[in-house]
Amino acid sequence: MSGYLRSLRGAGYMPSHEDLLRVLREKFPGEVKLHRDTYLDQHSRCIMLSASLIRSNHIATEVWAALISRSRSEKDEKIIFITKYVEDYESKPWDIKREWPEDEKDLVVKKRLLQLFGNIPLQWMQTVIEKY
């Protein structure tokens, strides 16, 4: 683990919270946190279970909890299945300097994600996070 904070710009696929929660409840019916009322409990468990499923199925993606920002003040934390990322100290979540188009490698990952999670809508998304 590196000892400094890095700014990473990533691109990948974002499911809706409701769709991902429904699929994970079906796959893990005994997971109590998936049935709690609070978004934070559900969200943290969705991250962990999604990452576990993706690793065990050898899908080339990472699970990020990322802020989706339309402006400096309008922020929403979502789960994104990241297919590519680079260090980027110029972009901010609300101001991405260089966009990444979806390519063939991304579409292969999307197909694998759809096989794993069912036919849920996955939106192509880009974000910036800070990570150690």
CA 110 – CA 116 distance, rounded (Å): 10
Q: Is residue 84 part of a domain?
A: yes
Q: Is residue 65 part of a domain?
A: yes
Structure-token pair, residue 108: 């292969």
Q: Is residue 120 part of a domain?
A: yes
Rounded mean pLDDT of 15-40? Answer: 92
pLDDT of 33 above 80: yes
Please state whether 118 falls in left (phi above 0), alpha (psi between -120 and 50) or beta. left
CA 92 – CA 8 distance, rounded (Å): 10
Q: Is residue 64 part of a domain?
A: yes
Pairing label, strands 6-15, 75-87: antiparallel
Q: Is residue 31 part of a domain?
A: yes
Q: Is residue 1 part of a domain?
A: no
What integer pLDDT is reported at residue 74 of this predicted model?
59
Q: Is residue 66 part of a domain?
A: yes
The predicted model scores a pTM of: 0.87
Range of the domain at 70: 6-131
Which position has the higher pLDDT, 26 or 76?
A: 26
Which position has the higher pLDDT, 116 or 130?
A: 116
Which position has the higher pLDDT, 58 or 97?
A: 58
> 79-112 pLDDT, tens per residue?
999 999 999 999 988 888 898 999 999 999 999 9
- Residue 29, amino acid: P
Q: How many domains does the chain have?
A: 1
